[in-house]
Structure 1
Amino acid sequence: MKILVFGASGSQQFNVISEGIKKGAEVVAATSSATSFEKLSQAGAKPILANMSDAKKMLEITVGIDAIAFMVPVSLPSPLEGLEYAKNVIDAAKANGVKKIVWNTSAWLLPQKIGISGEDVKLDIKDYLKNSGLDYVILEPTIYMENMMGPFCAPFVKKEKKLAYPTPEGMSIGWIASRDVSAFVVEAIYNNSLKADSFQISGLENLKGNDLAEQFSKGLGESVVYYMQPSQEFGEILKPLVGEVAAAGVTSYYESLQNTTEFPAKFNPNMHDILEKLPVQMTSLEQWAKENKTYFS
């Protein structure tokens, strides 16, 4: 099995390399920056310089590939470019007889467009993939535990013992570890019975803000309290990372959450059914915080 991974230099897809190697796969990691080569090589992948915007290059690197694990970059100058990126990969996969594509959507897809381009474009990508004729699996993860390692959260933990996040305290979330998502990606690749499937995946714990802080505190070994970060404060910190347009869209989304009492679902109570098809050893929030304790010290 030869797997081509996009986004492997980032936390969301990096562990696809190790999970694929565990299954005996040869893993090729596409990156748009040669500075990532050492990291990817050390993880056991064969790095290759390629940008998803280059349709010709996508045709070139998908020759001889059995499966593709891809996600669309978040930090695009225009989020709408994501559809073009996805089309280039999907078209190349079809042209070169790739057996399966697994798409990590980075978040649960919305039921319909809401005017936030970064989220709306994912629905267009979904339609394009479904109509491609390729075997595919769409994995929609909830909020990543690794998000707490971002500059909008980690410094607050270190300096003020506050677990900062822009979701209201009363909103329950099934936080998920990126390692678990990568394991789902690889299991989906190897499960030959999955050919046109979508899964909303979450962690097994449905935690409100104070519950999140409690489990985090247990793993950290010291007490932290939950701090609902104002959406604008969050957006300003996020802007240098993803660009002004993407940050504005995310800020708008979290602002809407902070102004409502009817929260969207971010937990799948039927995860045990999914785990029967995609057997993954799930990571608890306490376990994850314990493993990353030094990062927050």
Structure 2
Amino acid sequence: MSLVSVVGSTGRQGLAQIRQLAASGRKVRALSRSETPDLGGSNAADEARVFDLYDEATWVPAFEGSDAVFYTHPLQAREDRATLTGRVAAAAKEAGVERFVWNTSSWIPNRPGEPFTYGNNTTAINSIFRSGIPATIFGSVLFMDNLLTNWARPFIVHENRYVYAHKPHLQANWISLDDVGKCMTAALDRPDMEGTWMNIGGPERLKPTDVTAILSRVFGREIKYDPCTPEEFGDLLVEALGDSMPAEARKDFSAGIAAFYHYNNDSPTRPFEVNFEYQQECLPEVEFETMEEWAARQDWSDEAHRPSAG
């Protein structure tokens, strides 16, 4: 496949997808609400077109001529996930796209138990498949790159604190966004992955104290684990989103994030864990990095390019 359109190209996820597509030799079309998207100085995208999730008239024109579409649903549109994603996939099919690859940015329920808001992923996947477009979906359970955002990085860099709403017992297979992009790109060469979905995570299952030990080694100084409550974490995300979060939506968004992390901390479904051995068997062409490898190659400075929310 020669041309891949990336929805959400200016965010951390889209930028990583563009990097990995370009590294594979594919042409990339950056899609965003702007005709001149801010790609942080990257020249990896070959062209750009306007795509507005809340203006359906932009969808088919944005996709036309693409062999594949990489889709990322915006964090702030969590409740629209189940309906909008299927409609976007249908628009891609109408435009003649040959493969639709969606990174859900969260766990896809794959075991018994209350799915909470993760159930929206299942509904959206069904909508994608019913649209008739050949599709592959990845449920990436937790991003290493979250640590670079404005709700996490300043505490680490300036206060030597790892502030997150994870209880001490919570284990997670953190995955880098570049590795997510590698999985999505690899799927384009895998006809056997049409009509499939799978959860993906990194090679290590880490507790919060494991994360601080890694960060301490990378920074050469002690980083302490300083958990916040889910309610405090929701407020941190709202603050990080800044003006991009409408004032009238902030209270409900914060409460939704708090409820989400109460579930993540205590649910027997363990939505931050994956069977990495099985994952690697399914994707042997992808070499997954550890958190220490990822952290050591990041620009943690205040001057680095920061997408929305950091």
Superposition TM-score, scaled by structure 2 size: 0.85
1:145 equivalenced with 2:151 (yes/no): no
1:20 equivalenced with 2:21 (yes/no): yes
Does structure 2 conserve the Cα–Cα contact (< 8 Å) formed by 1:239 and 1:247? yes
Give the SS at the match of 1:179: helix
The equivalent of 2:308 in structure 1 is: none
Give the counterpart letter for 1:248 in structure 2.
A
The equivalent of 1:253 in structure 2 is: 260
Alpha-carbon distance between aligned partners in 2 of 1:23 and 1:114, rounded to the nearest angstrom: 35
The equivalent of 1:105 in structure 2 is: 104
Alpha-carbon distance between aligned partners in 2 of 1:73 and 1:155, rounded to the nearest angstrom: 23
Q: Note the 1:204-215 alignment, pairs <5 A.
A: 204-215=203-214
Once the two structures are TM-superposed, the CA of residue 87 in structure 1 deviates from its matched residue by 3.3
Structure 2: stretches of 5+ with no match in the other structure = 304-310
Does structure 1 conserve the Cα–Cα contact (< 8 Å) formed by 2:172 and 2:206? yes
Superposition TM-score, scaled by structure 1 size: 0.88
Once the two structures are TM-superposed, the CA of residue 43 in structure 1 deviates from its matched residue by 2.9
Alpha-carbon distance between aligned partners in 1 of 2:83 and 2:267, rounded to the nearest angstrom: 36
Alpha-carbon distance between aligned partners in 1 of 2:283 and 2:233, rounded to the nearest angstrom: 37
Give the SS at the match of 2:37: helix
The equivalent of 1:267 in structure 2 is: 273
Compared CA separation, residues 261 and 26, structure 1 to 2 (3 A): closer
Alpha-carbon distance between aligned partners in 2 of 1:174 and 1:194, rounded to the nearest angstrom: 22
Does structure 1 conserve the Cα–Cα contact (< 8 Å) formed by 2:128 and 2:135? yes
Alpha-carbon distance between aligned partners in 1 of 2:38 and 2:279, rounded to the nearest angstrom: 38
Alpha-carbon distance between aligned partners in 1 of 2:271 and 2:50, rounded to the nearest angstrom: 38
Does structure 2 conserve the Cα–Cα contact (< 8 Å) formed by 1:202 and 1:271? no
Compared CA separation, residues 87 and 265, structure 1 to 2 (3 A): closer
1:181 equivalenced with 2:187 (yes/no): no
Compared CA separation, residues 159 and 18, structure 1 to 2 (3 A): closer
Compared CA separation, residues 31 and 80, structure 1 to 2 (3 A): same
The equivalent of 1:292 in structure 2 is: 298
Give the counterpart letter for 1:277 in structure 2.
L
The equivalent of 1:93 in structure 2 is: 92
Q: Note the 1:40-55 alignment, pairs <5 A.
A: 42-55=43-56
Structure 1: stretches of 5+ with no match in the other structure = none
Alpha-carbon distance between aligned partners in 1 of 2:234 and 2:253, rounded to the nearest angstrom: 9
- Over the aligned positions, Cα root-mean-square deviation in angstroms equals 2.5
Q: How many residues align?
A: 292
Does structure 1 conserve the Cα–Cα contact (< 8 Å) formed by 2:264 and 2:271? no
Q: Deviations over 1:113-149 (max 9, x none)?
A: 7564xx4433321110121222111101111011112
Once the two structures are TM-superposed, the CA of residue 178 in structure 1 deviates from its matched residue by 0.6
Does structure 1 conserve the Cα–Cα contact (< 8 Å) formed by 2:203 and 2:276? no
Compared CA separation, residues 113 and 130, structure 1 to 2 (3 A): farther
Give the counterpart letter for 2:46 in structure 1.
A
Does structure 1 conserve the Cα–Cα contact (< 8 Å) formed by 2:209 and 2:225? yes
The equivalent of 1:133 in structure 2 is: 132
Give the counterpart letter for 2:288 in structure 1.
M
Alpha-carbon distance between aligned partners in 1 of 2:253 and 2:183, rounded to the nearest angstrom: 27
Q: Note the 1:219-234 alignment, pairs <5 A.
A: 219-234=218-233
Give the counterpart letter for 2:3 in structure 1.
K
Q: Deviations over 1:56-90 (max 9, x none)?
A: 221112222111110111123xx333344323321
Does structure 1 conserve the Cα–Cα contact (< 8 Å) formed by 2:69 and 2:101? yes
The equivalent of 1:57 in structure 2 is: 58
Does structure 1 conserve the Cα–Cα contact (< 8 Å) formed by 2:6 and 2:14? yes
Q: Deviations over 1:13-38 (max 9, x none)?
A: 21221211222211111101346246
Does structure 2 conserve the Cα–Cα contact (< 8 Å) formed by 1:72 and 1:105? yes
Alpha-carbon distance between aligned partners in 1 of 2:127 and 2:164, rounded to the nearest angstrom: 33
Alpha-carbon distance between aligned partners in 1 of 2:198 and 2:72, rounded to the nearest angstrom: 15
Give the SS at the match of 1:190: coil
Give the SS at the match of 2:31: strand
Give the counterpart letter for 2:179 in structure 1.
D
Deviates more, 1:134-143 or 1:27-36: 27-36
Identity %: 22
Does structure 2 conserve the Cα–Cα contact (< 8 Å) formed by 1:157 and 1:296? no
